Structure 1
């Protein structure tokens, strides 16, 4: 895995050397430089690979369009020409979107203070600059959340609050929030403290018919509940999820929004995924059921069965809320187990759907013999074994299927024989041999099925000398 990094100037110098010293053509020189650095374990994802031009005056330095756009933006800002500022913001935004390396290079050359100055100008009352300024900030901070400082964070939240009725600036501003939160715990906590959560939930309510706003708000809500910043020992993901639900009515907002988009699988997928992230407490799972969310999810599984991504996210949401034992029973009573088996059967070729289906059924069967009976009679074990057979190299599918088999028979030994007759022992043994992650769950499944399995005693509890 590449771990070393170089500057844009180092890469451009290597390209120039290939042309001048080894008489390569510009394109060949770029390709050769890239291959050489990659062979040395250098990560080139932040590098713009542009060939210099040859002219009558000799070899010209490579022209990086993003820097030309940045220079033009600075000049128009310094000369106070708002119309040109808007044009150059759009140009800069387009260049940043083209490649990660362009955004990185622009940031190295001080793009953030320039874009922030444009945002301040827009916030001061120039409405024509607002959308291009937010778009430029969003493009620049994509993958670079460290750029956003306290001043920018506060300006972003204030701008969202002041323009809450305008759909397009709201959509772009929320996208900035999402980019700022990914892999950055300090930004997440700062934005929450500044009051971003009610702005996100109200945006879904206020712009319930605008698919772009709803999707961006869902993404941002999930980003706020992540715990993906390796630089901090622990984050506040759970607290943020609790605040969204208890203080800002997040579950009700999402379920009502789902009912407003019956024919948009993309938006529905995002809403289901966000519900999954918020189902972090027993009472939250029950609240989703009480608000009608369970009926929505079961309906989506049935009506949206042709949309694989929607099915996957609906299954994930069912799996999340089934963490509550009472909700497990409610899902089965609502026909959820049958819908899950039908979804897995229909999308047997999809490892993601198979994994989520097995995982959801596994949770439903946990400590629930009656639910296990319903799953067995509905063909759940057969569907899981078919999934194992269809995806032998997918560790996730194999692991969840093994766990499902174990839960089905753990408190209902009568199911062991019919499951074994379907060929479970061979498939579980193959999963155990092929995937290290399946070792423990495969052993447990075989043991509870009554198969012979060697259990190794890792520690006898006897006192002994410690190795030096």
Structure 2
């Protein structure tokens, strides 16, 4: 059942009532209001949970939130003031929007978008001013892609063309693009039709030494391949991926840009994630391999544990994205063999064992091995000899509540024995049968793949026949 919603004014009135009628201090008044509304099943995600501030010593003056105070100051000078004259208010607005989604949502409800866009347009000729205004727009649109309109789309395309030599302005403009294209198919299609893709690839080539810009542009390209807008039945994700590869040389540009940042794990993670999204065709997978992408990925996976003793979050994310890229390009049977020949199986198993406490790494590791094993008996042999099956069983034990780990591990174990029945007994001796049966019982989505794994392992399993076509005709 959908949760109830209230307005910011209703929440603020409740806080004010607690302070005035029940003489609570501000902290207690706020806490009580939150508890009361949550106990009534009200969704407070879009509510600024703060006590409205009085902007002067005049207690009769209306109380408001900091983000609205900054917005009011900007709105007053919208038609006459230049961005340079309201820099402090613009930066204050940006900081407040960066506090959380509730602040951004409240500002949007009070028509912040047209105000900020007007400042962006009037400052387009000045580097410092447009950077300040764009930063405010980036903060406001984070999580609110519906705000962008046709006027805003054209402005973003224009500023990317006009300031393409300026890495700082380009970077922030791409950040706005990314925010406005997440979960918004129409914005993606409109911007692509307007010529966004060559602007993104050109930015990567032109500013290959700027780490932050490479991250933003690579991420924006990846977002163009998403199919995450629930309002749209069919999107252009596949078409956009083809355009990036075939029309704008995206694979080579991304692989080449990695060489400029050999030690920047966050940049390399973004590049691997985007390469994985672009591997949508058999020939694209081979192209990534031929362009040096496989060598790059194997090197990153090897270096991720050889060059560091302490495994921080960035390192784990890089390993996860590298595994995701291997999983994507190994959809090509020739690339499968190339990965195994390059020692990929051993590296994947080592990565899983080193990061056994991380469910996402275990999931991607099992998925990689599962793809490599599919229809490839020789690869199955390499996986068994390097301890891949044992790593999958250990992952199932370590993450019994992680459904994706359970599913991918079941798929791997099934693929290992589908054409190599002699591996069934060694896998069963690892305790796989109990773990798979537990996954089937615990996770509904593991039912089919888990039962298939049990069947191919030679275990007794109940396969329910859903419909036989008997007992009556389809016609009335």
Same fold per superposition (TM over 0.5): yes
Q: What residue number does 2:86 align with? A: 85
- 2:39 maps to what in 1? 39
- Per the TM alignment, residue 415 of structure 1 is displaced from its structure 2 partner at its CA by 1.0
Alignment check: 8 A CA contact 2:82 2:123 kept: no
Deviations 1:131-158 (A, max 9, x none): 0011011111111111111011001111
Residues 219-258 of structure 1 correspond to what in structure 2 (within 5 A)? 219-258=219-258
Is 2:361 the counterpart of 1:361?
no
Using the TM superposition, name which of 324-333 and 49-58 deviates more. Answer: 49-58
Instruction: Give how far 1:80 is off.
Output: 2.9
Work out whether 1:76 is the aligned partner of 2:84. no
Q: Is the 2:251–2:288 Cα contact (8 Å) retained in structure 1?
A: yes
Partner of 2:308: none
TM-score by length of 1: 0.95
Give the SS at the match of 1:260.
coil
1:195 Cα deviation from its structure 2 partner:
0.7
Q: Which piece of structure 1 moves more, 65-74 or 336-345?
A: 65-74
**d(CA) in 2 for partners of 1:60 and 1:82?**
27
| The one of 316, 321, 329 aligned to 1:313 | 321
Match of 2:98, SS state, is helix
Q: Does 1:437 align with 2:445?
A: yes
Contiguous gaps of at least 5 residues in structure 2? 306-310
Change (3 A) 1:3 1:199: farther
Rounded Cα–Cα distance in structure 2 between residues aligned with 1:233 and 1:155: 28
Matched residue pairs, number?
467
TM-score after normalising by structure 2: 0.94
CA deviation after TM superposition for structure 1 residue 431, in Å: 1.8
**Which whole-Å CA distance do the structure 2 matches of 1:74 and 1:454 have between them?**
68
Q: Report which stretch shifted further, 310-319 or 396-405.
A: 396-405
Verify the 8 A CA contact 2:53 2:66 in the aligned structure 1. no
Q: Deviations over 1:368-396 (max 9, x none)?
A: 11111111111111111111122222211
- 8 Å Cα contact 1:178-1:220 kept in structure 2: yes
Partner of 2:410: 402
- Equivalent residue number for residue 428 of structure 1: 436
Q: Is the 8 A contact 1:12 1:62 kept in 2?
A: no
Q: Which moved more, 1:218-227 or 1:36-45?
A: 36-45
1:251-330 equivalent positions in 2, closer than 5 A: 251-305=251-305, 306=311, 307-330=315-338
The answer on whether the counterparts of 1:241 and 1:280 sit within 8 Å (CA) in structure 2 is yes
Task: Give the deviation of 1:463 after TM superposition.
Answer: 3.3
- Structure 1 residues 456 and 252: CA distance shift in structure 2, 3 A: same
| Matched ranges for 1:26-425 at <5 A | 26-52=26-52, 61-123=62-124, 125-305=125-305, 306=311, 307-425=315-433
Q: Kindly tell me: are residues 98 and 408 of structure 1, through their superposed partners in 2, closer, same or farther at Cα, counting changes over 3 Å?
A: same
8 Å contact kept, 2:320–2:361: yes
Moved more, 419-428 or 176-185: 419-428
Deviation at 1:4, TM superposition (A): 2.7
C-alpha contact 2:366 2:408 (8 A) present in aligned 1: yes
For 2:197 and 2:3, the matched residues in 1 are separated by 36
**Per-residue CA distance 1:192-225 (angstroms, 9 max, x = gap):** 1111111111111111111110111111111111
- Please state whether the residue corresponding to 2:12 is helix, strand or coil: helix
Shift of 1:242: 0.8
* Conserved? CA contact 1:2–1:41, under 8 Å: no
8 Å Cα contact 1:2/1:42 also seen in 2: no
Give the C-alpha shift of residue 229 in structure 1: 1.1
Whether contact under 8 Å (1:96, 1:139) holds in the other structure is yes
Residues 83 and 133, structure 2, Cα contact 8 Å, conserved in 1: no
Shift of 1:3: 3.1
Please give the root-mean-square deviation of Cα atoms over the aligned residues, in Å: 2.0
In 2 relative to 1, CA 343–117 (structure 1 residues): closer, same or farther, beyond 3 Å? same
Match of 1:6? 6
Q: Tell me the alpha carbon deviations over residues 100-148 of structure 1, each in whole angstroms, 9 at most, x when there is no partner.
A: 121111111111111111111112x233311001101111111111111
CA contact (8 A) 1:53 1:60 kept: no
Give the Å deviation of 1:53. 6.0
Q: Following the alignment from structure 1 to structure 2, what is the Cα–Cα distance between the partners of residues 5 and 329?
A: 55
